[in-house]
Amino acid sequence: QAFSLNFSLLSKFINEDEKFKYAEIISNIHEEMHASTSKDKGAIGWIDLALKQNREEVDRILSVANEIRDKSAVLIVIGIGGSYLGAKAVQDALSPYFSKQTDKTEVIYAGQNMSGAYINQLLQYIENREVYVNVISKSGTTLEPAISFRVIKSYMEKRYGEEMKNRIILTTDPTNGLLRKLAKEEGFRSFEVPADVGGRFSVLTPVGLFPLAVGEIDIKALLDGAKQATNDLMISNFKENEAYEYALSRYLLEKKGYILEIMASFEPSLRNVFEWWKQLFGESEGKDGKGIFPVSVTYTTDLHSIGQYVQAGKRQIFETILHIRNQKEDHTLKYVDNNFDQLNFLENKTFHDMNTIAKNSTILAHYDGEVPVIQVEMNQLDEYHLGYLLYFFQKACAMSAYLSGVNPFDQPGVESYKNNIFALLNKPGYESIKEELEERLDQ
Ligand code: PA5
């Protein structure tokens, strides 16, 4: 199996009867999610996106990506949250740890922070290197990407003159927002974020696919994996649908006080896949005083930092450990004559063998430390399996949020801080909030 979960280590914490009480509820949520009359129809377009994938759109993505690869050394992707985390996750998971390759278009990111040093250094970094830009914002109004785009657009104008228009590609809502207006009025090329797909569910739209294609990721294989997951996870019975069993297990654990989920892996290249996962679950579930707080770690590195807490700190943590069964690349430990480090007992063991043993040892230790552990196995780390994983977690996340009674697709909490920023930065229309906020800051 390409991707599978094992819930056996939860039996000490949740019994099967408890789970079966939710069978009908899950099945009803499933029917509602898939119904053409679903109450969240306007936000659930991701659910069968891979099945409906438009071949012409994929071909257009690949053709513009080829042009960029021919003509530029750097693609700057400007976006924040769901507008960049998916692409970065897949790109980093499939890129070498160290690379001297200089003939490849490098994909770098901007607009995901408000650091002046970052934008200055980015401008210095692209000097003397040919540049294209992809601005991604569904709303077109998010401040962080908007200010970076203003800076980078001015730079591109100065450097490329009229050609700048050909070098900036917009990814945004099909009809609304300032970026769509810019595309229409000034003739920038653009891709569409489907109206019924929100930021954190958009990795399999041009939001993720276009930067990935520029980075030489096989987006067709990524979509094939997602397609397989879409078909596999179409069943309403949670015992035959691991995304739903995962969602249900999390829900029941949260009810028992396990309010923190650690997503762990023993492969450092998954670090940004987990950043994507954290946003997906954190922003979808953390509402109305509910939700599990998503955290991620890379073992064995973090066993030497917060590992102690996981083993023996306050018992409110459960862990989901993602293991990659087969590694494309490995290294074997050799026998040395004088056994200076007394490690000859490891002769002929590969790093992957030892890492797998470290994983099994950690699972047993954490289980003994009263940490519920969910085990996820992925056959290998490639586009197909990552496509499967991305869809798996999207489906699980929607079910999980619905189970706890929150809307997976809005983010009212994110809006609160955005309103405060706009008010304190004097955006017209926010005057009354500004006064009140400034008084509070003066106190
Ligand atoms: O998941 C979401 O909806 C958010 O994280 C958005 O992706 C993020 O806020 C960026 O929004 P936008 O693409 O409108 O700039």
Respond yes or no: is residue 418 known to be catalytic. yes
Over residues 25-77, the pLDDT tens digits come to 999 999 999 998 888 999 999 999 999 988 999 999 999 999 999 999 999 99
- How far apart (Å, rounded) are the C-alpha atoms in residues 282 and 401? 10
Residues sharing a CB contact under 8 Å with residue 64, sequence separation 6 or more, in sequence order: 169, 189, 210
Say whether pLDDT at 413 is over 90.
no
Say whether pLDDT at 415 is over 90.
no
Q: What is the pLDDT of residue 34?
A: 95
Beta-bridge partner residues of 150: none
% of the chain beyond a pLDDT of 90:
94
* Active-site residue, selected from the candidate residues 153, 220, 278, 418: 418
Could you tell me which of 249, 393, 356, 366 has the C-alpha nearest to residue 309? 366
Say whether pLDDT at 188 is over 90.
yes
The average pLDDT across 346-374 equals 98
Looking up tokens 């929150």 gives 406
Say whether pLDDT at 404 is over 90.
yes
Calculate how far, in angstroms, residue 15's C-alpha sits from the geometric centre of ligand 1: 38
Look at ligand 1, atom 8, and give the residue with the nearest C-alpha. Answer: 81
* Active-site residue, selected from the candidate residues 192, 242, 261, 283: 283
Q: What is the pLDDT of residue 311?
A: 97
Look at ligand 1, atom 2, and give the residue with the nearest C-alpha. Answer: 199
Say whether pLDDT at 303 is over 90.
yes
Over residues 245-296, the pLDDT tens digits come to 999 999 999 999 999 999 999 999 999 999 999 999 999 999 999 999 999 9
Q: Which atom of ligand 1 is nearest to the CA of 82?
A: 7
Q: What is the mean pLDDT of the chain?
A: 96
Q: Is the ipTM of this complex over 0.95?
A: yes
Q: What is the pLDDT of residue 191?
A: 98
% of the chain beyond a pLDDT of 70:
100
Looking up tokens 């230790």 gives 365
Pocket, ligand 1, Cβ cutoff 6 A: 80-83, 137-139, 142, 145, 198-200, 283, 411
Q: What is the pLDDT of residue 101?
A: 83
Respond yes or no: is residue 436 known to be catalytic. no
Angle, CA of 253, 200 and 139, to the nearest 5°: 140
The average pLDDT across 234-249 equals 98
- Bigger pLDDT: 1 or 188? 188
Q: Are 322 and 265 in contact (CB under 8 A)?
A: yes
Calculate how far, in angstroms, residue 151's C-alpha sits from the geometric centre of ligand 1: 20
Q: Are 284 and 200 in contact (CB under 8 A)?
A: yes
Q: Which atom of ligand 1 is nearest to the CA of 139?
A: 14
Over residues 70-99, the pLDDT tens digits come to 999 999 999 999 999 999 999 999 999 999
Over residues 161-185, the pLDDT tens digits come to 999 999 999 999 999 999 999 999 9
Say whether pLDDT at 100 is over 90.
no
Q: What is the pLDDT of residue 53?
A: 87
Over residues 113-144, the pLDDT tens digits come to 999 999 999 999 999 999 999 999 999 999 99
Best residue among 77, 142, 148 to mutate for probing ligand 1, ranked by most atoms within 8 Å of CB: 142
Q: Are 308 and 250 in contact (CB under 8 A)?
A: no
